């Protein structure tokens, strides 16, 4: 068990560019979550997968955000036409069905200039 | 708007004291409650979870849940400087609908 991994750890991009982040959950976990966290705030829920199905997406999430988990293993989060307000830490977490105990990856820190 | 509220702190306690962290939630449908510790610049780390009313102890940590009052707390006994961090409360409904509080910053003075 190597834990949840995320790539890249840091991303600096210019406003208007597209970015994609990857998350590899703990191998036996079938639930996967994406969150966004800004300074002084708790993680804000973005979306949730059970296996390859995206079961919930935050209404706060604009159409510029999309996430996939094509084979029920790793997941990607894409942000199109980035804005300065997208600057945040993007966290991925996984859990196994039957429990809601989430294990977080190290996060991807996005800076939009 | 379903919310989880925490006092942002900072809560300052001397080394060896008991730190008491509190959390209230608004969604009566919340079923599972979690406490995460987050060091500055790091991701949250699960430290306790509680599903039923009452107390749950794990080492120096005790989680308390009162669903009637919609209140969750975390007690840290024999606080150590290494416990200095932000503590996040999480209330989960229906298996995946999860809401985090903004966190309470704890400082343990040596």
* pLDDT of the residue at A99: 79
pLDDT 10s digits, B9-30? 899 999 999 999 999 999 999 9
Query: At a CB cut-off of 8 Å and minimum separation 6, what does A50 contact?
Result: A30, A31, A97, B96
Rounded mean pLDDT, B48-72: 96
Query: Mean pLDDT for chain B?
Result: 94
Contact, B98 vs B25, CB < 8 A?
no
Contact, A17 vs A82, CB < 8 A?
yes
Q: With an 8 Å Cβ cutoff, is B98 touching chain A?
A: yes
Contact, A102 vs A23, CB < 8 A?
no
The DSSP output letter for A42 is P
* pLDDT of the residue at A37: 97
* pLDDT of the residue at B96: 77
Residue B97 with chain A: CB contacts under 8 Å: 45, 56
* pLDDT of the residue at B84: 97
Q: How confident is the model at residue B1 (pLDDT cuts 50, 70, 90)?
A: low
* pLDDT of the residue at B8: 87
Q: How confident is the model at residue A79 (pLDDT cuts 50, 70, 90)?
A: very high
pLDDT 10s digits, A20-47? 999 999 998 999 999 999 999 999 999 9
CB spacing of B98 vs A45 below 8 angstroms: yes
% of chain A at pLDDT higher than 90? 80
CB spacing of A56 vs B96 below 8 angstroms: yes
Residue B49 with chain A: CB contacts under 8 Å: 100-101
CB spacing of A43 vs B100 below 8 angstroms: yes
Residue A100 with chain B: CB contacts under 8 Å: 32, 34, 49, 92, 95-96, 98
């Amino acid at each position: 068990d190597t834990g949840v991994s995320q790539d890249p750890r840091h991303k600096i991009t210019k406003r208007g560019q597209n970015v994609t982040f990857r998350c590899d959950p703990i191998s036996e976990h079938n639930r996967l979550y994406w969150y966004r966290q800004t300074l002084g705030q708790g993680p804000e829920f973005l979306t949730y997968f059970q296996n390859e199905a995206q079961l919930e997406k935050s209404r706060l999430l604009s159409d510029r955000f999309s996430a996939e988990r094509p084979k029920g293993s790793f997941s990607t989060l894409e942000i199109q036409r980035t804005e300065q307000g997208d600057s945040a830490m993007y966290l991925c977490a996984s859990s196994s069905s039957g429990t809601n105990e989430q294990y977080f990856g190290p996060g991807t820190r996005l800076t939009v200039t | 708007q379903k919310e989880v509220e925490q006092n942002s702190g900072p809560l300052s306690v001397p080394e060896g004291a008991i730190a008491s962290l509190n959390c209230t939630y608004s969604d009566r449908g919340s079923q599972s409650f979690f406490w995460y510790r987050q060091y500055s610049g790091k991701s949250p780390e699960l430290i306790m979870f509680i599903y039923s009313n009452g107390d749950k102890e794990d080492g120096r940590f005790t989680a308390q849940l009162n669903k009637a009052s919609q209140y969750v707390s975390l007690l840290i006994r024999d606080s150590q400087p290494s416990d200095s961090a932000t503590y996040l409360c999480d209330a989960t409904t229906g298996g995946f609908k999860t809401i985090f509080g903004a966190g309470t910053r704890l400082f343990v003075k040596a």
